[in-house]
Amino acid sequence: MSGRAVAEDLGSASSDPDGFRFSPRPNQAHKIQWRSWGEEAFQEAVRANKPVFLVISCSWSSWCHLMDETTLSEPTIIAIVNNDYIPIRVDSDLRPDVNRRYNQNGWPSIVLLSSEGEILWGGVYVPPKQMLYYLGYIRRYYGENRQEIAEQVRELRERRVCRSSARVTIGHGGFCLSPEQREALEKLPAGAYEVLSGLYDRENGGFSIHPHLKFPHPPALELLLYLDRCGYPEGREMVDHSLRQMRDGGLWDHDGGGFFRYSAASDWSAPHTEKMLKENAGLLRLLLLMSRESGEQEWYDMARQLVFYLNTTLWRADVGVFSGSQSADEEYYEPGPYSRASQQAPHVDKTVYTAWNARVISAYLLAAQILQQPSLRDMALRTLDFLCTRMMHPSGCVCHYAFTGQPMLPGLLTDQVWLARVLLDAYEVQGNVFYLENAIALMHFACEELLEESSGLFFDAPENPHAVGRLELREQPLTGNAIAAECLLRMAEYSKRRMLHDTGLLVLSSCLEKYRHSGIQGAVYAHVVTRANVQGWLRDWDT
């Protein structure tokens, strides 16, 4: 099957095939006449000449729960939204493509759109009184200025289409780095170290980026640890201090295990209590690497505790795969007689996410070696088998999620590359060529359906004639392209295929401009480049 089949499935994918998910506490948000994201909802908006009321929510967020219980349960707001807008509700985990383009720097994101899908106004958690004001103002403005808005949308889209990237292609003789590109890639690790050192919080550990929020950023900390091995000073010390501060400050759940997602205080003392598979996989990997580098027993012990949390709370032994998250519940985690002992544990979202499971598989393969627990390798390979059988699309790509058993949303770059990466990890551990062949097949799909040779970069999703709003313009994310380049370069080493090597170098060098504006979000790319320098992947094929 071709990419056409993927496009058809992308066009039919809804934000949630079995209904919308709301706060577990009493609310009336379901009384809003929600539509799923898609062509049909926007066509309805055009016919009715109404703006779109978009809510990007997630099942694990306390602020999303509060939005359902307050603003979206207000009878007047429910009536106005149902009468004057076309309401669309999107789960950000199920639809990262929508979330990437419309998120307002937090959850829940409330975005009022034109019927073409352009943003008229947006914000995060909006109290009822403010929401009433914005709903009234935007509806009046939209009604009075519809033609002007449509013209502005047309001009905006024309400007987007006209944007051009640097033109680079793989010629008949293969791709070689220019002297300027080679120099930039060779110097990049030093620049990355300078960026992370400048952002590092020497008092509380971690990185000072947001004035009132503190995220653990495991990819950035892992990069510091790798740079330490490459001769850059203090990398291990910064990681050691950061892990201690997270553990002792409040980000680590001392009773139940697992890391919370982030803190609203720079010293980690005000955690928001959702626990995400993706972040815990990254932090498990970091703990394991610190155990190996330092030899200190406390990191081995903490890694085992984190594995215990994942095994007892997120592991689905009945099917052999990991759940995506455990919801926030501030009352449950507060100390006192009315906390954990007397309450039900927070809800676990059993949705299967391919990329997140791939990350925890990689961490478990490493844990099996470092903690000397072969059973973790067995769990990892069982999960990998699930992804390679139950999550595959007939076209040869992998799907993004499965909510009730049916895999949905095929062909996203993030899922192809993270799964390909862990297949290569499994190949290194097991030596089974099946894993290498499957990794090559996934990257073949990515190169056929997602790679734009004129820019040297992968798009985040296949071309989709049913795309609406900002999804009509595909994006080329830095992290996804970095992992893609790593996979291609590793596969070239294993399979001795020049085209894989040349395409990997093309992608790696084409990311340079994106990286210059990425800050800490460029840590994964910087890590791949640093590894490429160490492993000799930057050499020309025939040298």
Kindly report, residue by residue over 500-519, the tens digit of the pLDDT.
Answer: 999 999 999 999 999 999 99
pLDDT confidence of residue 342? 64
Beta strands in 229-368 (DSSP E): 262-263, 271-272, 275-276, 315-316, 321-322, 325-326, 348-349, 352-353
Compute the distance between CA of residue 107 and CA of residue 67 in angstroms, rounded to an integer: 10
- Residue 159's CB is within 10 A of a number of other CB atoms, namely 9
Q: For residue 12, name the pLDDT band (cuts at 50, 70, 90).
A: very low
Beta pairing partners, 124: 109
Residue 1 has pLDDT above 50, yes or no: no
At 13 the pLDDT is 46
Question: Which pLDDT score is estimated for 439?
Answer: 98
Pairing of strands 451-452, 407-410: unpaired
Which tokens belong to 76? 């007047």
Residues 423, 416 contacting (CB under 8 angstroms) = no
3-state secondary structure of 451: strand
Give the 3-state secondary structure of residue 329. Answer: coil
pLDDT mean across residues, the chain: 93
As a whole number, mean pLDDT of residues 186-193 equals: 98
Cis before 108? omega within 30: yes
| Confidence grade of residue 524 (pLDDT, cut at 50, 70, 90) | very high
pLDDT tens sequence across 262-280: 999 999 999 999 999 999 9
Which strand (E) or helix (H) includes residue 452? strand 451-452
Q: Locate 9 and state its tokens.
A: 């499935």
Mean pLDDT of the 100-113 span: 97
**Per-residue pLDDT tens over the stretch 369-400:** 999 999 999 999 999 999 999 999 999 999 99
Is pLDDT at 7 greater than 80 in this prediction? no
Residue 171, pLDDT above cutoff 70: no
Number of helices (H), then strands (E), belonging to the chain: the values are: 21, 16
The domain locations on the chain are 3-160
Q: What is the mean predicted confidence (pLDDT) over 319-334?
A: 93
Query: Rounded mean pLDDT of 21-43?
Result: 96
Distance CA 190, CA 187 (A): 6
pLDDT band, residue 110 (cuts 50/70/90)? very high
Instruction: Check residue 404 and give its pLDDT.
Output: 77
Q: What is the mean pLDDT of residues 344-355?
A: 95
**pLDDT at position 293 over 70:** yes
Residue 128 has pLDDT above 90, yes or no: yes
Tell whether the model's pLDDT for residue 107 goes beyond 50: yes
At residue 220, the pLDDT reads 98
Q: Which of 357, 218, 356 is nearest to 289 (CA)?
A: 218
The per-residue pLDDT for 167 is: 43
Helix H, strand E, coil C: the string for 150-169 is HHHHHHHHHHHHHCCCCCCC
Hey, what CATH topology would domain 3-160 get? Glutaredoxin (3.40.30)
Is the distance from CB of 28 to CB of 72 less than 8 angstroms?
yes
